[in-house]
Amino acid sequence: MRSAAVPTRAGLMRPQQERSAATGARRIAKSLEGWYRRAKRDLPWRRSRDPYRVWISEIMLQQTTVRAVIPYYGRFLGAFPNVRALARAALPRVLAAWSGLGYYRRARHLHAAARRVVRMYGGHLPREDAALRDLPGIGRYTAGAIRSIAFGAPAPILDGNVARVLARLHGLRGPTASHQRRLWDETALLVAAAASPGDLNQALMELGALLCTPERPACGACPLRRRCAARAAGAQEIIPAPRRRRAPVEVTQALALVERRGRYLMHRRDGAALMEGLWEFPGLGDGSVDGLRLRPLELVAKLRHSITYRHITVEVRRARLLAEPSGGAYRWVAPDGLARLPVSSLVTKVLGRVIMSRTGVPVRQTTRPGVPGLRMTRTGVPVGRKPRPGHRVGHGV
C-alpha cells in the first residue's frame, strides 16, 4: 500500500522525500509496536478484538479515565453482551447501567446506534469508515479505533494523547488544534507502515497515557526519545502549548431530602435539562413545580460537585412534604432501588453523606448504589453494618 503524502510548506512531498518519510514511519511504527507489546497495560477491553467490545470501550473512554471505566465496562457487557441485547433493552435500563460514568449522551447514542446496526446490518458492526461514522456517537477518531483494532484496517486515529505524542515527536509548537491536518497526516503515515494497525494506534495512545504525559514526561523511557524533536530542543515541557480551558462557573444548588417509610422522593429530569432522563433529589427554592410543595428543614449535608466546567456547591436539607406532586416525573424510591434507575454520581454522593450522618460509617462515594462498595438495605444502612445508637429507621418527615 502506498503511503499517504505529507503536506509541507512547499506543498506535497516529492517522491524521494515521500520514500524517506515512509522509511522513517516504518522504523517509528516498529519501535512503537515492539514497545507496546512489552509495556502495555492488561486492560479488559484489550483481551478481545470483538468489534462490539472495542466499540463499547472506545465510547466509554471518551473524556473518561481508564480507572473509572474498568468496573463499568465489565458490568455493561454483563447486562448487554452483544449488539442485539443492547438494541432490545429499554433506554432507561441502559442509562441505569451507565449511571455515574457521566456524559450520558454517549449512552443514548450507543443505544440508538445499536438499534440501527441491528436494523441495517443484521447486528454486525460495519467495517467501512463512512458506514461507521454514520452511526450516532461515532466520529473520525472512534471509527478509526474500531476499524484498526477490531478489523486490522490501516485507519488513523487522533485524540489528545496521540496529538501530544506526535506534536513532540515533530516539534510542532503551539496548540495541537492549529496542527490538525498535519497531525492526521502523520498518524495516517504511521498506521499505513505498521505491521498491526490496531497495536500501532493503541501504542500511540498508551505512550501518551504512560510516558509522554502533559507534565513531566518520562523521556528517558520513551521508545522514540532519539527521534523526538521536542526532547532534542529541550522543549518537551512546553510542546504542545496547553489549550485554553473554559473558565469555571460557580453554582449553588439546594436539594430536598424527603423521606417516607424508608423511601426517598426522586424527580426525573425533563428532556430540556442537562442529564435528561436521570433521577435526582428534588430541588429547593424553585417554587411549586408539578404541584410539589416543600418546607425546608435542617441542613443534612453540604458538599462540592463538578460537571464539566460547573463547580457546584450542594446544600442538602431535610424537607417536609406539604403537597404531593402530580404526573410521572416523581417516584418514591428505596435506596437499593436506585441501582435500577439512571442516576448521576451526585445522587450517590448525597446518599453516601446521609448514610454517614446516620451511621457514622464513611461510605465510598465514588461507587453508585447497588454495586460493590455501596451495598445498602432498604432503610439506607450499608449491608453488614448495624445502625448506631439513636439511628431512626424509616422515619417520615
Q: Are the C-beta atoms of 393 and 379 separated by less than 8 Å?
A: yes
Phi-psi domain of 346 (left: phi exceeds 0; alpha: psi -120 through 50; beta: other)? alpha
Catalytic residue among 18, 33, 58, 215: 58
- HSE (CB half, 13 Å, CA atoms) of 127? 7
Residues 6 or more apart whose CB falls under 8 angstroms from that of 132 comprise 125, 126, 138, 142, 143, 146, 147
Under DSSP, the state recorded for 247 is P
Strand partners, 250: 311
Q: Locate 48 and state its grid cell.
A: 478481545
Is 259 assigned a catalytic role? no
Q: What 3 state SS string does 177-214 have?
A: HHHHHHHHHHHHHHHHHCCCHHHHHHHHHHHHHHCCCC
* 3-class secondary-structure state, position 73: helix
Q: Locate 172 and state its grid cell.
A: 510542532
Rounded to 5 degrees, what angle do the CA atoms 263, 314, 297 make? 55
Catalytic (active-site) positions: 58
